[in-house]
Amino acid sequence: MRSRQRMFAAVMRLLLKCLRLGRRRRFKLVRQVEQLWHYGHLCLRSLLYNSFTNGDVVLDSLFEPIYWLVDHVTRWFGVVFVALVIGLTSSIVAIVYICLLPLILQTYTPAWICWHLAYGHWNLIMIVFHYYMAITTSPGHPPQAKNNLTGVSICRKCIAPKPARTHHCSICNRCVLKMDHHCPWLNNCVGHYNHRYFFSFCLFMTMGCIYCSISGWEMFRDAYAAIERMKLLEKERLQVAANQTYYQTPPPTFSFRQRAFHKSVVYLWVLCSSVALALGALTLWHAALITRGETSIERHINRKERQRLQKKGKVFRNPYSYGSWDNWKVFLGVDVPRHWLTRVLLPSPHLPHGTGLSWDLPPCVTEQRAPLLAI
């Protein structure tokens, strides 16, 4: 009896010892896994840590494949976009001359006819001139020689001097002076030498679309109602043709000229209204940027700099802003009062102030610029 008890006690002690060893080994394995995890996490953070990393940097990294695709696709489809702009604009002009102008000459008073002819042709000339200049004018590129520039940074893609307000365009694969953005509808960058042409084209195109939409509203309503009547009469004609007898005649049909006229008026109004809304919003956005004396790229840079300095109790001042009114004068190249007529309301190929390499105070600015930082 005692021998059995001793044997049972020995077996139990051996079992408890095995359980203890198993627990120690299991805890040791868990500790090793935790140590490896913390070590790998620390190594990863040490390799990828950057004090400037934030949500914007992470989003830019995630969207890098999309940026690459847009850069390469836009480069090849720029010609298609330019042809599309020219084709749509030409179609609107053709409809106005073929369909609307004869109707205006027959129904409007002489005063209204003169106003429509004068304003319409002036607006058309301004659109064509500024679009042509925006496409053909180079935005400006910095020279490659380092001895021609002082106090500039180096572009990490071009490995060349980069003046102030200059940025690298990944689509053109070149640095652009005072770069605003690359416009696929121009197949060109918007920079120092063609920024005014781009904005003027957007402004006058928006004005022309609004003019066509307002002037053609009544014609659009009549044409839309006529098209609806066409559909109803066509439906009735098909029903009569299916059940035609010797005593029934089909309803009269519209001629091809009438159909083309009404559909052209509807096409003109819908296209002009859509472009007026979309391009008008873009024009207002760029007008706000010009008022603040900054480009689209500089807006994001200045916003981040403003937030950074705000945490330090400082206020950011844009060094390239001379005040709202002076910013517009500098942008449009208005030096004397008569330039508002000769350089703004009439086609003018004058160059902007400066060379885009340095930013001295323009002669049209009366007040000194504000300091960059103010406590």
- Give the CA distances from residue 301 to residues 59, 139, 150, 310, in Å, rounded to whole numbers and listed in that order: 16, 21, 22, 14
Catalytic residue among 169, 175, 183, 189: 183
Residue 208 amino acid letter: G
Identify the bridge partners of residue 190 per DSSP, sorted by sequence position. 181
**Tokens 């960058």 -> residue:** 189
Q: How far apart are the first and last CA of the chain?
A: 95
Contacts 24+ apart (CB under 8 A), 369-375: 369/319, 369/320, 369/321, 369/322, 370/317, 370/318, 370/319, 370/321, 371/317, 371/319, 372/316, 372/317, 372/319, 373/309, 373/314, 373/315, 373/316, 373/317, 374/314, 374/315, 374/317, 375/313, 375/314, 375/315
Q: Does residue 183 have an active-site annotation?
A: yes
Residue 293 backbone zone (phi > 0: left; psi -120 to 50: alpha; other: beta): left
In terms of DSSP bridges, do strands 153-154 and 161-162 run parallel, antiparallel, or are they unpaired?
antiparallel
Active site residues: 183
